[in-house]
Amino acid sequence: MVWPNKFIFKGVDEGEYADAGTTENLRQLRGRVQGTAEKGLGAAGPKSDRSSRLSRVASVIRPESSSERAADSRRSSSQGDGEVGWYREREPLVPMDEGFLYFSEVPMTITAFNIIESTLREGEQFAFAHFTPEQKALIATRLDDFGVEYLELTSPSASPQSEADARMIAGLPLRARVLTHTRCHLDDARLAASTGVDGIDVLFGTSSALRMFSHGKTVEEIIAIGTEVVRFIQAQGLEVRFSSEDSFRSDPDDLLRVYRAIDRLHPQRVGLADTVGIATPNQVFELVSLVRRNVECDIEFHAHNDAGCAIANAFAALEAGATHVDTTLLGIGERNGIVPLSGMIARLMSVQPELVLKYRLDLLPELDRMVADMVGIAVPFNAAITSDTAFHHKAGMHTKAVLNHPSTYEIFDPAVFGRDRTIMTGHRLTGWNAIGSRAAALGLSLDETQLRAISVEVKRRADAGPLPEHELDDLLRGWVTA
């Protein structure tokens, strides 16, 4: 398939836009910038194995070697036939080499990833959130049932109840590792370490705005304080992540100075945070790639959704070499929130389903409804997978195709998520195939001529408003006996 677009690629070394050429298509561009060594997850092992780390030394953006191209070719040939969305057992409707779902001839570079589920930290910062201890325990238990690797809790320093809740959740019999999120301050770290958590996530504002108006520290002071706090946490035998705050409005040179210094201490992760949701996917890919080239530890990514790019940005971060993504149920958090768990699962499921099959995907709708009830909102209509209408089909063209082959308008099997498909019928956009489907469900035998006539009548009535199901059913039954 020919992609006629002209793509522009920004090199992270020179910091200038370079014309990638009118003949370089998307597949070629992805193949070039993703010709990277695979990254293992340093903190993905059993809960007790806190010191497990794998290093990544290959750069993310560089020319491909001939050996890499050969390896990519071997991996490509081993890709299962027909693995398009969830219709893995069927012949693909669109050949893989035409770019359906996969943008490259080589497999994507995301080989695994961890969820740091932050409903009990970032989610508490949502405007309408106030979780009771019992609700927190339920959220933690159900997310553990789902299979998230990490649970992140509000800093014990936030309030006496926050400290008590951290101790309570750290004491639950969970498979997930329990983390807490604190300022990069020794007093906060000491209190956090005493609660029984498995790890501590510390952060320090690195943008000029935060350095001026928040904590007033220089880059040298950030490195010195960060080094002291990270070493203290490590001395307690705990997992540690050091994150910059407002990473995408920070000077890249400042970021690299901080990250290189912290990486020499061998933490489990460093973190990048799009704290105000200002970054674009290209900017995320570029900055994560740059950090990936400069540190050996794992990389965590935290994306806010102020500009509507949180999921896309998190996916770009994973493509560039990040290993962990922060999520919350429904994406709740400060302001517009962060990456929703269901949306991140949907994004990965649509391109690399093997990455998410380790989770109890059928629990997603229940999890979103649970937290929606707790914070007093509805599950948004556009929530991936979990919204009431996620698998509803309405227009006549759509319903005909879906009835013939669900993959025409579905990239997921709703049953994987414990959902059912809904074919809507009693409205003015309906088609005779949808009417026929409803008739068959009622055990009625109608021919095409009858179904077409009924659809005309349904459209006439439905111009005044959708027909209740009982009215449509009465109409169908009446047609049989007429």
Q: Are strands 298-303 and 324-327 parallel, antiparallel or unpaired?
A: parallel
**Contact at 8 Å (CB) between 371 and 329?**
yes
Token pair listed for 296: 């050996």
**Contact at 8 Å (CB) between 318 and 312?**
no
Give the C-alpha distances (Å, rounded to integers) separating 66 from 9, 35, 71, 72, 218: 22, 11, 9, 10, 45
Query: Catalytic site residues?
Result: 398
Give the C-alpha distances (Å, rounded to integers) separating 26 from 2, 105, 281, 349: 9, 10, 15, 21
Amino acid occupying residue 154: T
According to DSSP, the residues that pair with 324 across neighbouring strands are 114, 300
Q: Is 224 helix (H, G, I), strand (E, B) or coil?
A: helix
**What's the chain's length in residues?**
482
What is the DSSP secondary structure assignment for residue 198, as one 8-state letter? S
Token pair listed for 25: 């298509």
Return the closest-CA partner of residue 280 out of 307, 252, 301. Answer: 307
Strand residues in 113-267 grouped as ranges (E) = 114-117, 150-153, 177-183, 199-205, 239-245
Give the C-alpha distances (Å, rounded to integers) separating 164 from 15, 154, 177, 180, 375: 48, 11, 18, 13, 21
Token pair listed for 198: 């498995």
